[in-house]
Structure 1
């Protein structure tokens, strides 16, 4: 369990780094150069009624970190040595099915903290991802990376 949370802390840092990169580099570039495109303006550059660049940055950051975390969890945390495509594919599908639920939880918490409580990005990321990773650990242990003895 300790390794899980060490990796979760690293993923929180990576998530924050990706979101800051989006905020400081990617969003200004896209919105200045392509913001006249109605689709991009509405779904990425708009800040009214909600901060869409932040929401999209959060979604991308969570997606990237979940892919990395899947492999860390499978092979290091839960010590699964099975590399057969069928088993790994099934684990991957279950992992990302549950990841969708915890991603909604993460992004929802972060969205509420930022838009309704005006919580700074750094604090909202830490709170939302900590809750999400704790939820994800128990789900993964119970339903995704099942060992021979059922744990």
Structure 2
């Protein structure tokens, strides 16, 4: 059942990420706009996914705000590697295909792979207690 919830949260976080990227492109389409949008989407998806994973996947109850901050830092650190996967796919699809939607397809592929890897990293290093 955890795998199903994790997959649903990953889908929801992916949708939030893509939505924030889309909004970013509506606001700004200038120099490095893809990277600005990817950053904004990543932050939005990261915060949402942390809250959902912490509470419903790993059932972690922070002992204090400091503990919660430490967990979020570790969670984010584990996300650096998986973010590189996600960004690599998004940038790659954007460069290889001339469709406006290619970057979003690449983002979904990269996020899907990244979330699977991230679950195991989080289980082993972040929420191990």
Q: How does 1:106-145 map to 2 (within 5 A)?
A: 106-118=86-98, 120-145=102-127
Q: Which runs of 4+ in 1 moved over 2 A?
A: 116-119
Gaps of 5+ in 1: 29-44, 47-51
Which secondary structure does the structure 1 equivalent of 2:28 belong to?
A: helix
1:5-50 residue CA offsets vs partner (Å, 9 max, x unmatched): 1111001111111111112x2115xxxxxxxxxxxxxxxx22xxxx
Asked whether 1:59 is paired with 2:39, we answer yes
What's the counterpart of residue 5 of structure 1?
A: 7
**SS in structure 2 at match of 1:82:** coil
Secondary structure of the corresponding residue to residue 81 of structure 1: coil
* TM-score (norm: length of structure 1): 0.75
The alignment yields a C-alpha RMSD, in angstroms, of: 1.7
Larger Rg: 1
